[in-house]
Chain A
């Protein structure tokens, strides 16, 4: 049973690496580590199986319940693909970006990603500098309490556990409230709006296109 459980977990790690499941959980740079761990577990399971001695006749070997439970969980992980709600996660994570590299204006506005925009607005927080700039971004819909939903991305250094949400306020067309977690590509222009007496940059959405979740939705 131990060999079976270890083998199952090895298969889980290997299958997650090969099928792209890990893209939802972990930065790509760590994927080979997970794959290698899966191979190591499979090898370990094989060695255990080889060295296993059959119990004496008439005596049953007792297997702790934890091994059964572990094997059941591995089977469930194999059977049910992960489908994380990024907006739920974003709502429960601090949005502090920390110290990041200096970002220059040199990238043309229409080529800036959502993350580029958020970093630029943070390092140069003067909304009037960007008013009228074309915007072409994509991300998932992140509902906000007392405000219209933002378009957001998750930044990760390692995995979902350290995910930091970054979002841009969007002025959505009237009568078409976007659904939480929906992935959208938004084209529009940057504008300045007054919110609670403070100016802030807001994307005036002119063209909204639903898109499938990107293969690698987490950004470094």
Chain B
């Protein structure tokens, strides 16, 4: 063999040896957990998405992983990625400790690791203080912490759906408003020995340069923010979508009211004169679906594609309708009362609404319905008034509703409502508005 031939053989042999070495190393490399994050959608109180470096043997994860306190949970998926779902019908009493262990399909073990996870949302409130209003957050120990400076008015508060921040519209009390974004760093899912902690507020960022006359805000679970705003009374206004990645897209839709981003992302509901329309967000093929009639969006359900609508009838009655994919809206309730707020669990399995009848002294009633519209529970909110514009929000992790109610002439306060028994738990904190901040 010539010298050149020998050299070529040597190079080929070295390449082959390197490939063999790499193959053997990869073959023996233990599986790793690459990603662990809260799911964007869940049929239970909460769930986690896990991505491994290798497809895992689900049965080994089932038998080797543990959770404290021992809630009912199951693994979903096939190998990789997997989802850890807390089963419906239970509440989360506090932080969870998750011990992850198991083997992959080659029977190689995953390094044991312990995680702390608290999927319960935090309570946010617009609190009246000396000099105006301020955004405050309730810590896990029940105390309150200021997140913003004091402004004469805090007109709108929109927590980002991924819990990464809060969009705020501050007012000077003379009709001029400013838009802000308050980033929040959450520590609701940490690997031990790190500890869970309350959200940390970042630097307040102005989102617009000029003063606004009004703005409407909406967000989805991805953390995108929709801003409908106008600078003057004659200005037709503009709509901007700020994605979680920081990109900005103008939206061309002409709306007759406030637009709402779909919670799961990808779309926006636009009220138009002929009815409610659903549009794709920029970056996707253009699409418009119309639901005709005098309807307004009342609230979204946690399961994708389901929402509650309020329909206004010519005889001044209102009805509450459940929209499901591929089906016409289903009427759950109809009456002469005003629908002040609504909320629903999962795909509309249970629906709550607050109604008020002006003719009967405006005493609000809280109703619980099943998905066929059958009345399950009813509670009179005698002595309470629903704070105008305040939503009713459902927390699936504790099976409770959040309302902002005012009693007599005193300040409004956050009131937690047991979703099953409808018993009220007023928190005694003077607020103007109370909202959940999703655990990020």
Assembly CA distance A193 to B264 (angstroms): 25
> A132 to B347, Cβ gap below 8 A?
yes
B304 contact set on A, CB distance < 8 A = 105, 129
> A199 to B76, Cβ gap below 8 A?
yes
Besides A105-B305, A109-B305, A109-B326, 4 other CB < 8 A contacts? Answer: A105-B265, A127-B76, A129-B41, A199-B74
Assembly CA distance A124 to B81 (angstroms): 9
B289 contact set on A, CB distance < 8 A = 108
> A106 to B41, Cβ gap below 8 A?
no
> A122 to B43, Cβ gap below 8 A?
no
Assembly CA distance A12 to B267 (angstroms): 48
Name 21 interchain pairs, CB-CB below 8 A, sorted by A.
A104-B264, A105-B266, A105-B304, A106-B284, A108-B305, A108-B326, A110-B325, A122-B77, A124-B40, A125-B76, A125-B81, A125-B83, A126-B42, A126-B76, A127-B76, A128-B88, A128-B303, A128-B346, A132-B347, A133-B305, A133-B325
Assembly CA distance A123 to B281 (angstroms): 21
Give the residue of A110, A126, A198, A199 whose beta carbon is less than 8 angstroms from that of B41: A126
> A104 to B266, Cβ gap below 8 A?
yes
Contacts across chains A and B counted by CB atoms under 8 Å: 73
B326 contact set on A, CB distance < 8 A = 108-110, 133-134
Q: Mark A102-114, 1 if CB is under 8 A from B, else 0.
A: 0011101110000
A125 contact set on B, CB distance < 8 A = 76-78, 81-83
A127 contact set on B, CB distance < 8 A = 76
Q: B85 near A: Cβ within 8 Å?
A: yes
Q: B241 near A: Cβ within 8 Å?
A: no
Give the residue of B55, B83, B267 whose beta carbon is less than 8 angstroms from that of A106: B267
> A129 to B43, Cβ gap below 8 A?
yes
A128 contact set on B, CB distance < 8 A = 43, 88, 303, 346
- Chain B residues proximal to chain A, CB less than 8 Å: 39-43, 47, 55, 58, 74, 76-78, 81-83, 85, 88, 262, 264-267, 280-281, 284, 289, 303-305, 324-327, 346-347
Q: Which residue of the partner chain A has the closest CB to B285?
A: A107
Q: Which residue of the partner chain B has the closest CB to A109?
A: B325
> B325 to A106, Cβ gap below 8 A?
no
Q: Which residue of the partner chain B has the closest CB to A107?
A: B266
A59-98 residues with Cβ-Cβ distance < 8 A to B are 96
Assembly CA distance A164 to B76 (angstroms): 22
Q: Mark A185-216, 1 if CB is under 8 A from B, else 0.
A: 00000000000001100000000000000000
Assembly CA distance A36 to B132 (angstroms): 75
Assembly CA distance A127 to B74 (angstroms): 12
Per CB-CB distance, the 9 closest pairs between chain A and chain B, nearest first, are A106-B266, A134-B326, A128-B43, A125-B77, A105-B304, A104-B266, A105-B264, A125-B76, A109-B325
Q: Which residue of the partner chain A has the closest CB to B303?
A: A129
> A134 to B280, Cβ gap below 8 A?
no
Assembly CA distance A129 to B77 (angstroms): 13
Assembly CA distance A128 to B305 (angstroms): 13
Give the residue of B41, B88, B267 whose beta carbon is less than 8 angstroms from that of A124: B41
| Nearest CB on B from A43, distance (A) | 34
| Nearest CB on B from A131, distance (A) | 8
Given contacts A104-B266, A106-B280, contact A134 B325 (CB under 8 A): yes
| Nearest CB on B from A39, distance (A) | 36
B82 contact set on A, CB distance < 8 A = 125
> A126 to B83, Cβ gap below 8 A?
yes
A96 contact set on B, CB distance < 8 A = 55
Assembly CA distance A127 to B77 (angstroms): 9
Assembly CA distance A128 to B265 (angstroms): 19
Assembly CA distance A105 to B346 (angstroms): 15
Q: Which residue of the partner chain A has the closest CB to B85?
A: A126
> A126 to B267, Cβ gap below 8 A?
no
Q: Which residue of the partner chain B has the closest CB to A120?
A: B304
Q: Which residue of the partner chain A has the closest CB to B77?
A: A125
Assembly CA distance A16 to B305 (angstroms): 44
Q: Which residue of the partner chain A has the closest CB to B55?
A: A96
A106 contact set on B, CB distance < 8 A = 262, 264-267, 280-281, 284
B78 contact set on A, CB distance < 8 A = 122, 125
| Nearest CB on B from A121, distance (A) | 9
A134 contact set on B, CB distance < 8 A = 325-327
Query: Which residue of B81, B267, B325, B347 has the most chain A CB atoms within 10 A of its CB atom?
Result: B325
B40 contact set on A, CB distance < 8 A = 124
B266 contact set on A, CB distance < 8 A = 104-106
Q: Which residue of the partner chain A has the closest CB to B281?
A: A106
B76 contact set on A, CB distance < 8 A = 125-127, 198-199
A109 contact set on B, CB distance < 8 A = 305, 325-326
A126 contact set on B, CB distance < 8 A = 39, 41-43, 47, 76, 83, 85
Assembly CA distance A131 to B280 (angstroms): 23
Give the residue of B42, B281, B324 whose beta carbon is less than 8 angstroms from that of A132: B324
| Nearest CB on B from A120, distance (A) | 10
B264 contact set on A, CB distance < 8 A = 104-106
Query: Which residue of B40, B88, B281, B305 has the most chain A CB atoms within 10 A of its CB atom?
Result: B305
| Nearest CB on B from A165, distance (A) | 14
Query: Which residue of A108, A125, A133, A198 has the most chain B CB atoms within 10 A of its CB atom?
Result: A125
Assembly CA distance A73 to B184 (angstroms): 68
Q: Which residue of the partner chain A has the closest CB to B43?
A: A128
A129 contact set on B, CB distance < 8 A = 41-43, 303-304
